[in-house]
Structure 1
Amino acid sequence: MRVLYIDIDSLRPDHLGCYGYHRNTSPVIDQIAREGVVFDRCYTTDAPCLPSRTAFYSGRFGIQTGVVGHGGTAAQPKVEGATRSFDDLYNQQGLARQFQKLGFHTAMVSPFGQRHAAWHFYAGFHEVHNTGDGGMESAEVVQPVVDKWMADNASKDNWFLHLNYWDPHAPYRVPDEYGNPFEGEPIPEWLEQEGLVPKHNKIVGPHTSMEVCMYHGRGNPRYPRYPGQITDDRTLRMMIDGYDVGVRYVDDHLARTIAALKDAGVYDDTMIIISADHGENLGELGIYGEHATADDATCRIPLIIKYPGGAQGVRNQMLHYNIDLAPTLMELFGGEKQPIWDGDSFAAAIEAGDDVGRDEVVFGQCAHVCQRSVRWGRWLYTKTYHDGLRLYPQEMLFDLDVDPHEENDIADENPEICREGQWRLSRWHDAQMQRMALNGGDMVDPLWTVVREGGPFHARIGNSSLGGTPLKDGFEDYMQHLEATDRQEGAIQLRQKYAAQLARC
């Protein structure tokens, strides 16, 4: 058996044809989906990139690993301390190591470990091919490395290959000569509603429509598909087209990988998994081109699995985590679920199409904001502990059945549902702390470490930087930018909210 894991950074499921998207962004992926199982409601436990991939390969929630952010203490795995053996838990119990124990040759084509100094990401891999540009490389740089690996190895037995593509990740860098296959095609209908752009232009916070590039509205001529600001229908279309072209560009290159498997005569005997580290805000909560919140737009990920001899043409409607894949794969391949793993197997969904899964999922974000959310039934309840300069209320509630793009926060009108959401979060947190007490080297919830160290890395109030300048000056520069773009009230509220913290800088 062979396992091909295709990891497409920032890929939203609802921008793929097999998830109902109206644009033809993914013909190759859609064909694979028809030959396997499509999981409609899979979530990363921890967003964005570094926390998500750490969770995936460790099989653990970020609250357990300690990796929930992009900088500071929360970007490093918790120290194992006196219980550490000759090697560490990532090598002993990580997913890649379990494949090695089963006799698989493990390989990776990704620069991710170097991009985030996440050396634990490489644990359990026989070979790593770093494509060299820290995630800024486009598919035409990645694919020749993949082609060479396939030519050398595709026909061999028992390998696990992780492929990492980056083109849907901002700033959209598909070469100009590729063109725009979606020019003139409608963008998602909800984004075309009258008055949406002017409403979003009043929202404050990094990566909102007036500062797509985090804290300013200046575009970069190196990335003509990526606008600095979204102020009208043209720039809104430019944003959506840029993202969708990135998805289609990866899909076109995947065709070469699939062809290599077929040419080697092993396509039918290869398990193919297509997923992502996280999704992407494309207007949800007023954010564009960033994976910045603990919401459906950021934390829901695609999961498509073609398994030889398994179910075909099936959709699974239950809730799942990305960390559920580790025990699932071990059940399918005769391995063992590791003692520290937090996930549950859903092998029956892949083998027989059974609609197995979870009734609720909890997921977090501590790189751009500090939030935890719980998803159950039709509801998404979000608790904000640090708003990342976005003025979010402490509680938000969305009915995703009628409001899938999170336009209407209905927390105030539904206190009883908010209480249930808070109870679900508290129950999950208690279980995590109890597990930590039995298995961990400390009793620290890393979310609170992030808050103590000044807030999420990309909006830190304290000993870091904001927009590339010393933090206190950077905060004031941003306030002046808000005032210059007719958002004086937002600047006043942010100054008041962060006055005490700024005074300590």
Structure 2
Amino acid sequence: MRIIYVDVDTLRADHTTPYGYHRPTTPNLQKLADKSVVFDRYYCSDSPCLPSRTALTSGQFGISNGVIGHFGPAAQYRLDAGHGPEPDRPLLGQRLIWSGYYTAAISVFAERHRAYFFHGNFRESLRATDRMGDEEAPDVNRAAIDWLRRHADEEDWYLHLTYWEPHTNYTQPAEWTEKMAASGPVQAWPDEETIAAHAEVYGPRSALDLNYSIHGAGKSPVPHNMPDAIRSRADFEHLVNGFDGAISYWDHYFGQLMAALEELGIAEETAVIVSADHGESFGELGSYAEHGMASEPVQRVPLIVHWPGVTDRLPPEARRNDALLYNIDLAPTLCDLLGLDVPAGWQGESFAAAVRGERIDSRAYLVLGHGAHTYQRAVRTRDHLYLRTYHPGCFRAEWEQLFHVTEDPYLTRDLLAQEPELAARMRSHLAEWWNEYAGRPGALPDPMQATLQTGPTYYNDPARYARHLRESGRAHLAEDLEHRLATLNVPVSWHAPDRPRTTELLERWIHLLQTRDQRPADRADS
């Protein structure tokens, strides 16, 4: 069997045609979906990029494989010393290689995130360009189609392609953004009143700090595709047009990739799987154009599986599946479809029966984690989402929230106080899951708890950001951020080179702790 896995960075499911989007963003993806099974409730177990792809290829949750964030001990893949892969928990690509498959990748993900273990999936890894990520779709296609021409006559290969288009910054030519703007209206939410209220939600990629980075506030690097800030509906519409334009641009080149399979005569013999590492927020919880929380728009990802001779013969009603699934389920599913044994150390469950058009049982709930911009875990049932924040980073993230996602898809009404019994049940689900994977003898420490003192501060230093809030006339928000971090008993800065600039903020933090009878002197060198 020939298999192509198409990994589209930041592709939000409900902005694609197969998932009912009202704009024609992905006609070529829809052509594939017409002969595939579309999975409606497919979630990355861990987000964003590095935790998600590690979970996908390791078949394990981040709490077990060690990668829940993007730097330091929170991003260290757990491997025992020794020769060769661990037989009970190999990477997906290693399992395929053992069975005679030739595996290859056209992706610089491993180098972009210093995730060199990712190369262990592949016998061959190719660069489309000399760039460290953000290659454009035509460059990826050039390398991919060349690879396909050289291997079209061979059997049993697995090709992993990474496309970056929908990830900010939206670098596609402006005509693609204009085309989407002309194709139909942008969603009605958030309205002007909501956008105005979001001025009180601070954090990088919030409404007023859409282009803030650790280097300071900035203007849009792509003004034709993305505004400087979100101050009005017009700004929001401009942002969504840019995102949709990026998706449409990618889909155009995806169509060329599919045409190449037809030209080579292998389209009917090649499985094609399209998914994403994570989605994207567009106003939910005050976050814009970012994948910074364990929320519904971030964790839910598309999954479209075309398996020749199987999915193309299914009746239409068998081509949709709404079981709650994780991305760690894909590795055992592929083994199942290929007739291979599933390694004992993988934590996912095969849904191969659903690819064959059969009904499958759904999990009662999923537990989802995020560790790059905040430290959060979430519980997702069929209707509800419970969010628990362990560290807010620089974002105004509440400690606990509860939403009825089916009735409130934009997460606007927090039900935590109104539904105490439901909240307690969701907390118990989270505790049950944690005890299963980190609370038993022999289990490795939870990397989210082990790195809580530093937290998700790689991209944005809280001290610098608090300074920025004050300089931009939002001192009350700076005080709120500092109070949240003081409540956690963590320092507001970890960037040693910036010590002189953070003295005032450190003094504020020390004062806050002293008022709570703490002993900050023990952490004065943090």
Given the two structures, how large is their TM-score scaled by the length of structure 2? 0.88
Q: Residue 376 of structure 2 contacts residue 389 of structure 2 at CA under 8 Å; is this kept in 1?
A: yes
Cα deviation for residue 152 of structure 1 reads 1.4
Q: Do structure 1's residue 154 and structure 2's residue 133 form an aligned pair?
A: no
Q: Do structure 1's residue 376 and structure 2's residue 398 form an aligned pair?
A: no
Q: Distance in 1 between matches of 2:331 and 2:35?
A: 22
Q: Distance in 2 between matches of 1:79 and 1:98?
A: 16
Q: Do structure 1's residue 498 and structure 2's residue 498 form an aligned pair?
A: no
Q: Structure 1 residues 44, 201: CA separation in 2 closer, same or farther (over 3 Å shift)? A: same
Q: Which amino acid aligns with 1:489?
A: H
Q: Which amino acid aligns with 1:104?
A: Y
State how 1:35-46 maps to structure 2 within 5 Å.
35-46=35-46
1:160-187 deviation digits (Å, cap 9, x = unpaired): 1111100000111113355521124444
Q: Tell me, which stretches of 5 or more residues in structure 2 are unaligned?
A: 493-505, 507-523
Partner of residue 395, structure 2: 390
Partner of residue 469, structure 2: 479
Q: Distance in 2 between matches of 1:279 and 1:235?
A: 20
Partner of residue 316, structure 1: 321
Q: Which amino acid aligns with 1:128?
A: S
> What is the SS of the residue equivalent to 2:323?
strand
Q: Distance in 2 between matches of 1:90 and 1:491?
A: 50
Partner of residue 363, structure 1: 368
Q: Structure 1 residues 193, 39: CA separation in 2 closer, same or farther (over 3 Å shift)? A: same
Q: Distance in 1 between matches of 2:297 and 2:240?
A: 14
Cα deviation for residue 78 of structure 1 reads 2.5
Cα deviation for residue 305 of structure 1 reads 0.4
Q: Distance in 1 between matches of 2:244 and 2:24?
A: 9
Q: Distance in 2 between matches of 1:90 and 1:118?
A: 20
> What is the SS of the residue equivalent to 2:110?
helix
Cα deviation for residue 188 of structure 1 reads 4.0
Q: Structure 1 residues 364, 347: CA separation in 2 closer, same or farther (over 3 Å shift)? A: same
Q: Distance in 2 between matches of 1:28 and 1:411?
A: 41
Instruction: Figure out how many residues of one structure are paired with residues of the other and give that number.
Output: 484
> What is the SS of the residue equivalent to 2:208?
coil
Q: Structure 1 residues 367, 285: CA separation in 2 closer, same or farther (over 3 Å shift)? A: same
Q: Distance in 2 between matches of 1:252 and 1:479?
A: 41
1:195-243 deviation digits (Å, cap 9, x = unpaired): 1221222211121011112445522445631222111222211110111
Partner of residue 170, structure 1: 168
Q: Residue 154 of structure 1 contacts residue 260 of structure 1 at CA under 8 Å; is this kept in 2?
A: no
Q: Structure 1 residues 236, 364: CA separation in 2 closer, same or farther (over 3 Å shift)? A: same
Cα deviation for residue 92 of structure 1 reads 6.5
Cα deviation for residue 86 of structure 1 reads 0.5
Q: Distance in 1 between matches of 2:302 and 2:427?
A: 27
Partner of residue 202, structure 2: 204
Cα deviation for residue 48 of structure 1 reads 0.3
Q: Distance in 2 between matches of 1:178 and 1:140?
A: 14
Q: Distance in 2 between matches of 1:88 and 1:241?
A: 45
Cα deviation for residue 267 of structure 1 reads 0.8
Q: Distance in 1 between matches of 2:396 and 2:102?
A: 48
Q: Which amino acid aligns with 1:174?
A: Q
Q: Structure 1 residues 379, 422: CA separation in 2 closer, same or farther (over 3 Å shift)? A: same
Q: Which amino acid aligns with 1:6?
A: V
Q: Structure 1 residues 309, 413: CA separation in 2 closer, same or farther (over 3 Å shift)? A: same
Q: Distance in 2 between matches of 1:175 and 1:74?
A: 36
Q: Which amino acid aligns with 1:111?
A: V
Q: Residue 87 of structure 2 contacts residue 343 of structure 2 at CA under 8 Å; is this kept in 1?
A: no
Partner of residue 109, structure 2: 112
Q: Residue 466 of structure 2 contacts residue 478 of structure 2 at CA under 8 Å; is this kept in 1?
A: no
1:238-269 deviation digits (Å, cap 9, x = unpaired): 11011111111111001111111111211111
Cα deviation for residue 289 of structure 1 reads 1.0
Q: Distance in 1 between matches of 2:476 and 2:75?
A: 34
Out of 198-207 and 87-96, give the one that drifted further: 87-96
> What is the SS of the residue equivalent to 2:324?
strand
Q: Tell me, which stretches of 5 or more residues in structure 1 are unaligned?
A: 460-464
Q: Distance in 2 between matches of 1:235 and 1:127?
A: 43
Q: Residue 284 of structure 1 contacts residue 405 of structure 1 at CA under 8 Å; is this kept in 2?
A: yes
Out of 114-123 and 178-187, give the one that drifted further: 178-187
Partner of residue 336, structure 1: 341
Q: Do structure 1's residue 407 and structure 2's residue 412 form an aligned pair?
A: yes
Partner of residue 24, structure 1: 24
Q: Which amino acid aligns with 1:429?
A: W
The root-mean-square deviation of aligned C-alpha atoms, in Å, is 2.0
Cα deviation for residue 429 of structure 1 reads 0.5
Partner of residue 514, structure 2: none
State how 1:224-239 maps to structure 2 within 5 Å.
224-239=224-239
Q: Structure 1 residues 412, 166: CA separation in 2 closer, same or farther (over 3 Å shift)? A: same
Q: Residue 370 of structure 1 contacts residue 384 of structure 1 at CA under 8 Å; is this kept in 2?
A: yes
Cα deviation for residue 415 of structure 1 reads 1.0
Q: Structure 1 residues 221, 60: CA separation in 2 closer, same or farther (over 3 Å shift)? A: closer
Cα deviation for residue 276 of structure 1 reads 0.4
Q: Distance in 1 between matches of 2:148 and 2:88?
A: 26
Cα deviation for residue 67 of structure 1 reads 0.6
Question: Out of 72, 83, 86, which is 2:83 matched to?
Answer: 86
Q: Do structure 1's residue 420 and structure 2's residue 418 form an aligned pair?
A: no
Q: Which amino acid aligns with 1:480?
A: R
Q: Distance in 2 between matches of 1:142 and 1:264?
A: 18
Q: Structure 1 residues 194, 220: CA separation in 2 closer, same or farther (over 3 Å shift)? A: closer
Cα deviation for residue 309 of structure 1 reads 2.2
Q: Distance in 2 between matches of 1:14 and 1:222?
A: 24
1:390-434 deviation digits (Å, cap 9, x = unpaired): 232221000011111111111111111110010000000011025
Q: Do structure 1's residue 447 and structure 2's residue 434 form an aligned pair?
A: no
Partner of residue 13, structure 1: 13
Q: Residue 91 of structure 1 contacts residue 124 of structure 1 at CA under 8 Å; is this kept in 2?
A: no
Q: Residue 46 of structure 1 contacts residue 365 of structure 1 at CA under 8 Å; is this kept in 2?
A: yes
Q: Distance in 2 between matches of 1:221 and 1:87?
A: 44
Q: Distance in 1 between matches of 2:466 and 2:194?
A: 28
Q: Distance in 1 between matches of 2:357 and 2:165?
A: 34
Q: Structure 1 residues 426, 88: CA separation in 2 closer, same or farther (over 3 Å shift)? A: same
Q: Structure 1 residues 49, 187: CA separation in 2 closer, same or farther (over 3 Å shift)? A: farther
State how 1:121-160 maps to structure 2 within 5 Å.
121-131=118-128, 132-160=130-158
Given the two structures, how large is their TM-score scaled by the length of structure 1? 0.91
Q: Do structure 1's residue 65 and structure 2's residue 65 form an aligned pair?
A: yes
Q: Residue 169 of structure 2 contacts residue 222 of structure 2 at CA under 8 Å; is this kept in 1?
A: no
Identity of aligned residues (%): 34
Q: Distance in 2 between matches of 1:424 and 1:13?
A: 26
Q: Do structure 1's residue 101 and structure 2's residue 98 form an aligned pair?
A: yes
Q: Residue 330 of structure 1 contacts residue 336 of structure 1 at CA under 8 Å; is this kept in 2?
A: yes
Q: Which amino acid aligns with 2:468?
A: Y
1:77-117 deviation digits (Å, cap 9, x = unpaired): 1352xxx3312439961110111122211110101000001
Q: Structure 1 residues 495, 352: CA separation in 2 closer, same or farther (over 3 Å shift)? A: closer
